[in-house]
Structure 1
Amino acid sequence: MGGDPTTFGNLNPPDQVLQAVRDSIELLKSRSYGPGKGHQDVREAVAEYCSHQGPVTPDDVILCSGCSHAIEMAVTVLADAGQNILVPRPGFLIYRTLSEGLGIEIKYYNLLPDQQWIVDLEDLENQIDDKTAAIVIINPSNPCGSVYSKEHLTEILDVASRNCVPIIADEIYEHMVFSGNEYHAISSLSTDVPVLSCGGITKRFLVPGWRMGWVIIHDRQKIFEKEVREGLNNMTTRILGPSTLVQRALPAILQLTPQSFFDEVLLFLESQAKLAYEALRRIPGLRPVMPQGAMYMMIQIKMSLFPQFKSELQFVERLMSEQSVFCLPGKVNIK
């Protein structure tokens, strides 16, 4: 399953979500431009929905055209050309795409496959230099499916605090965790490290095409008080704000979607992940890592057992051409 949970038509939003947009269509105010950062009442609804992240006010919320737009805003505001941001390896490719166009360098820190893809803290700290503008933390992980414990998130915050580096928290898969695991927003654990949390309704509500996301500013020590807040506000004018049609539906979407819907989707995802894991682990030459959440599974290919292929890229290309199974090569070395 890829990043679009709606591809095969077997996962659909509940009627409460669909009805919210039907109702929005009838509103005159859903057809007009809105404030660049989003309507006040909508930001209030997001602030309430995201209260698990720590103290959040409507002024801390900036609505965006999907989580990808939120990520772009966070990277653009925090880093200048010539600086670098630290991104997990394996990680989400959009960070490289966005940064290269802005003259921002990407530096990678390793995740540990034999420890459920937690951050290699020593490697993370070694990558930090005087040009590091931010650390990207993807939790739950795309593409590893890992969910970090409270203790591990605290360790990451300790590294950021010692080096005075802010965090971009990519949390589009928040709450999408399998049984036996617990999600914690890294911002809820931070006392001094400022965090820009990027999220939205794409994954959890199964509506990626509606392009509704947000950046939430967490800044207990007021380090972002002037330049970063002003920068984010100024950047909202570039697209004249996100869709007002979906904005007007958003409070109802966030408030009326039943917990039973989320439970059923998670149960389905976890059952599919277990099914795939059990099948793949029996195939010689493949070693899957059972995900703890999200919609992804990383699989090690023992290339020595496939001498006809020169690289993992050739392997996944043949998989696609012969079996119509699409995989993204991980480009991660696992000893």
Structure 2
Amino acid sequence: MSRNWVKIKISDYARLSVNPLRKITQEQKVEPNPLKRSITLQLGDPTIFGNFPPPISLINALNNAVHRDKFPYNLSYGKYESRKAVAEYSKHQGLVTADDVILASGCSHAMEMCVLTLTASGENVLIPKPCYNYKTWLDGVKIETRAYNLNPEQSWNIDLKDMESLIDEKTRCIIVNNPGNPCGNVFSKDHIIDLLALAEKHKLPIVADEIYEHFVFPGIEYHSISSLSKTVPILTCSGLSKRFLVPGIRMGWIIIHDRNDSLSEVKQGLRNVSARILGPNSTVQYALPEILQNTQQQFFVNKMMKIACNAELAYGLLNQIPGLKPIKPRGSMYMMIKIELEKFPEFKSCMEFTQQLIREQSVLVFPSYPCFNYPGFMRIVLTVTNDMIEEACARIKEFCETHVVN
């Protein structure tokens, strides 16, 4: 006797692996104002508007690779020549060799590999608050995330006392994002040294998300965490996507900064995990040495000058709007803006505020909750054109003046 089909259940891994940013952009049902063109200040994708093209050296390297690569399976953790090029490119982080490098399918994949190699179900990881969507990788495998606070009044520095209060016998590592998304934080040398002292005290390795390495505004110093660590082992994750303006390339890497041979098993574990996808794209690996070696420093300088100018423009305009308090970024390509919700009593949350902003003004921004696990703010990207920043800020001002209660 046949039975009717019923809904097939999914695993907790699938059910809990939710990326809040993608969920909002892909499932958002809020309709923009049809009388105004949409201005999206949401996704951190510098390719959208064509004003931040990738370097010609990268295009040439990819063209060369397509014609010369034989498209084989490579070592799952990366071609030797490519890993050697990453080690040379990353010498500002400290002395490393090709043997210390694991290639991955983007920086997000690199971060996921690190955390899942270090941590098991039932254990916990420290993550920043606000933060990028690290929980997406961890909730589905029942790894607890404990969020330590970043302080907006101190350029989003880490509240180290808060961080230390979260540590227990099941804490396995600390995730640190510097330069940061969504805050635009760039930690000073002294602040990183204080962080390292805490990690040393509790013997916790650091997983450093440095995809925005060197992505700092003029006059701001950047220090990789590993370059300042004498005893704390660091797994540094980075890649091509942001600095080289090619997020769709999906080429990232892990650099293993061992201390006192404490990461020897971790290195083997990461190589084991890399075999799950049999390594990243062969052609991009083939092109990687040429990309890293031939891209001129002036490309990076020009890019950061443009983004820094956009940051100054947006900060100046938003700072004049009633009910908003922008936090001036020091790097990356984002700005967080505090919404003084007590001045907008018709909105109960930053989500309601940003949804109505879309309906009335067709300006799309991310609410800080649930996107970054931090209520009361919204985030904008700074890689749009100058005229779009000016128009977006003018519309945000009109919206706020309409709804603010002084």
**What's the TM-score once normalised by structure 2's chain length?**
0.80
CA distance in 1, matches of 2:166, 2:48: 37
CA distance in 1, matches of 2:145, 2:69: 44
Equivalence for 1:34? 74
> 1:130: Cα distance to partner?
0.6
> 1:192: Cα distance to partner?
1.1
> 1:14: Cα distance to partner?
1.7
User: Once the two structures are superposed, what CA deviation does each residue of 1:70-128 show, in whole Å capped at 9, x if it has no partner?
Assistant: 011011101100000000000111x1010011110000000110000000010011111
2:279 equivalent to 1:214: no
> 1:154: Cα distance to partner?
0.4
SS in 2 for 1:238: coil
Equivalence for 2:309? 271
User: Once the two structures are superposed, what CA deviation does each residue of 1:279-304 show, in whole Å capped at 9, x if it has no partner?
Assistant: 10000000001100001101100011
Q: Which has the larger radius of gyration?
A: 2
The number of aligned residues is: 332
CA distance in 1, matches of 2:258, 2:288: 25
Q: Which residue among 191, 207, 213 is the counterpart of 1:174?
A: 213
Q: Which amino acid aligns with 1:196?
A: L
CA distance in 2, matches of 1:138, 1:120: 14
Equivalence for 2:100? 60
> 1:28: Cα distance to partner?
3.7
Q: Which amino acid aligns with 1:239?
A: I
Q: Which amino acid aligns with 2:327?
A: V
Equivalence for 1:89? 129
> 1:333: Cα distance to partner?
5.8
Q: Which amino acid aligns with 1:253?
A: I
User: Once the two structures are superposed, what CA deviation does each residue of 1:113-151 show, in whole Å capped at 9, x if it has no partner?
Assistant: 000000001001111111101101000010000100110
**What's the TM-score once normalised by structure 1's chain length?**
0.97
> 1:320: Cα distance to partner?
2.0
Q: Which residue among 86, 90, 93 is the counterpart of 1:50?
A: 90
Q: Which residue among 286, 294, 305 is the counterpart of 1:248?
A: 286
Q: Which residue among 218, 227, 232 is the counterpart of 1:188?
A: 227
CA distance in 1, matches of 2:113, 2:366: 26
Q: Is the 8 A contact 2:69 2:286 kept in 1?
A: no
CA distance in 2, matches of 1:231, 1:320: 46
CA distance in 2, matches of 1:324, 1:177: 30
Q: Which residue among 14, 19, 33 is the counterpart of 2:55?
A: 14
CA distance in 1, matches of 2:320, 2:312: 13
Flag structure 1 segments of 5+ consecutive residues without an equivalent.
Answer: none
CA distance in 2, matches of 1:197, 1:325: 35
CA RMSD of aligned residues (A): 1.2
CA distance in 2, matches of 1:86, 1:283: 35
Equivalence for 2:152? 113
Q: Which amino acid aligns with 1:166?
A: P
> 1:307: Cα distance to partner?
1.2
Equivalence for 2:44? 3
Q: Which residue among 297, 315, 320 is the counterpart of 2:358?
A: 320
Q: Is the 8 A contact 2:184 2:332 kept in 1?
A: yes
**What is the identity percentage for the equivalent residue pairs of Structure 1 and Structure 2?**
51
Flag structure 2 segments of 5+ consecutive residues without an equivalent.
Answer: 1-40, 377-406
